Structure 1
Amino acid sequence: MADHFDELVAEADAASVDGWDFGWLDGRATEQRPSWGYARSLAGRLGRARAVLEVQTGGGEVFAEALAAAPARPTLAVATESWPPNLARATRLLKPHGVAVVHDPDEPPLPFADGTFDLVTSRHPVTAWWADIARVLAPGGTYFSQQVGPASVYELVEYFLGEQPSENRNARHPDQARDGLRAAGLEVVDLRCERRRIEFFDIGAVVWFLRKVIWMVPGFTVEEYRGPLRRLHDQIQAEGPFVAHSSRMLVEARKP
């Protein structure tokens, strides 16, 4: 059993976590998807847009999927990303779709003129700078985004870090998004949140997930958390998959 644990952990610790593709978890973890089908919904909006900005695109995987499914491509399409490995991956994926990928530090101001885009999108942005999003939107333009909601995967977070304070649990609440959008002068068209089931089937899946989603357990390393990882491995072996719940928020807003 010890060798099995060590092998699973070592494999996950050595695997690449570049980009924003979670394919490494196939067969090792599952997550129910939100009911709204973000990539499909985005594809329809891309087909109607003239100028599109994708903010914090990660590796560009979801934006590329939506562009491939769109009934028509926008005349102008730009994506921003800050992390160099993701920037290179996004450029490879998005260039064939006619998208210019721009390095940006993910803080305002965005390097674009006022009123440039009729559609601004973002999937799981680290931070949404509402006022700057409103600035680059053209009058009548739309912001469309899927974001991480409150207390996402907190069963796993609190397994390693203990019970979290209420201000941490309530961060990214839809009410905060609504207030920020309105303060920026944007009209809320749709704002909803769902919690979806996640199952981790082995400890390697947990290790890889925490290495990739670095804000879940800040500073996570196998060496630092080997004891809790071993206990969780034993729990999964005895009781079955570790169950958590993601929190996902759909945001759609319009500039008057």
Structure 2
Amino acid sequence: MGLLLVRGAGQRGPALLGYAAAVAARLGGAEAVLDIQTGEEVLDFALANAPRRPGLAVATEGWRPNVAKATAVLRPRGVAVVAAPEDAPLPFADGAFDLVVSRHPVEARWQEIARVLAGGGVYFAQHVGPGSVRELVEYFLGPRPDERRDARHPDRERRAAEAAGLEIVDLRAERLRIEFYDIAAVVHFLRKVIWMVPGFTVEAYLPRLRALHERIETEGPFVAHSTRHLFHARKGTGARPARW
């Protein structure tokens, strides 16, 4: 994790690469890995850089347009990509995986994560934190209710994970600086991260975009902050523990 700069059309930052490298290191001790809501970048990087590949690698993707893309990227690495709605039970047997990973899940469904983990298995994930990129969201939508800002608070997620029977080994939170250097970067970001400003189009938000363009031109980059937390959780011991 580290500083993420959004310049022009944006770029892959250290926050992504740091988590992907950590996943790669953990693959060496796993026999069966599941990547939930894959987005494909992390698992692709991790498998390319892992000291040893697991015998079984599966990824789920809930957003239809991304299923074909994820399959094209991950199938050559031996990964089975399964189309699975984000709000449905995971289509796998109990205790099927000794390592479950996820980067920025829409929602961590802790009961399902615990169910598919083998005894001793590990959940290692990077979650979006509370109020992430709040400055940009509220520029377009106005102030957000406190309960909406805090929905992803790590303390709340810790309690939910423990209620599902997982032990929290490590939980780290970070706040990362994002700088938008021009209005094209803002538009690119909001088109890519579609849940930030639902229904965003240039036409619908043209007056606000023009005002923000003028602000960036006169005052410099628009600064927001991305919040993240890194989860390392373990299921109680049993038959097939993860070795890392």
Q: TM-score, normalised by structure 2?
A: 0.91
Deviation of 1:31 (Å): 8.1
Tell me the equivalent position of 2:103.
Answer: 123
Deviation per residue, 1:74-119 (Å, 9 max, x gap)? 0000000022221111111111111000110112310000000000
For 1:42, the aligned partner's letter is V
Give the aligned length: 231
For 2:33, the aligned partner's letter is V
Tell me the equivalent position of 1:53.
Answer: 34
For residues 34 and 163 of structure 1, the distance between their equivalents in structure 2, rounded to whole angstroms, comes to 27
User: Retained in 2: the 8 A contact 1:30–1:199?
Assistant: no
User: Retained in 2: the 8 A contact 1:155–1:245?
Assistant: yes
User: Retained in 2: the 8 A contact 1:29–1:199?
Assistant: no
User: Retained in 2: the 8 A contact 1:30–1:198?
Assistant: no
Give the match's secondary structure for 2:171.
strand
Deviation per residue, 1:4-34 (Å, 9 max, x gap)? xxxxxxxxxxxxxxxxxxxxx6655478644
The CA RMSD over aligned residues, in Å, is 1.6
User: Retained in 2: the 8 A contact 1:56–1:79?
Assistant: yes
Deviation of 1:44 (Å): 0.7
Give the match's secondary structure for 1:141.
strand
Tell me the equivalent position of 1:105.
Answer: 85
Tell me the equivalent position of 1:88.
Answer: 68
For residues 123 and 217 of structure 2, the distance between their equivalents in structure 1, rounded to whole angstroms, comes to 44
Unaligned runs of 5+ in 2: 1-5, 237-244
User: Retained in 2: the 8 A contact 1:154–1:245?
Assistant: yes
User: Retained in 1: the 8 A contact 2:47–2:77?
Assistant: yes
For residues 248 and 174 of structure 1, the distance between their equivalents in structure 2, rounded to whole angstroms, comes to 9
Rate the CA distance shift 1:142–1:74 in 2: closer, same or farther, 3 A: same
For residues 79 and 13 of structure 2, the distance between their equivalents in structure 1, rounded to whole angstroms, comes to 30
Q: 1:63 aligns with which of 43, 47, 50?
A: 43
Unaligned runs of 5+ in 1: 1-24
For 1:207, the aligned partner's letter is V
Tell me the equivalent position of 2:155.
Answer: 175
For 2:25, the aligned partner's letter is G
Q: TM-score, normalised by structure 1?
A: 0.86
Moved over 6 A (4+): none
Tell me the equivalent position of 1:239.
Answer: 219
For 1:170, the aligned partner's letter is D
Tell me the equivalent position of 1:9.
Answer: none
Give the match's secondary structure for 2:218.
helix
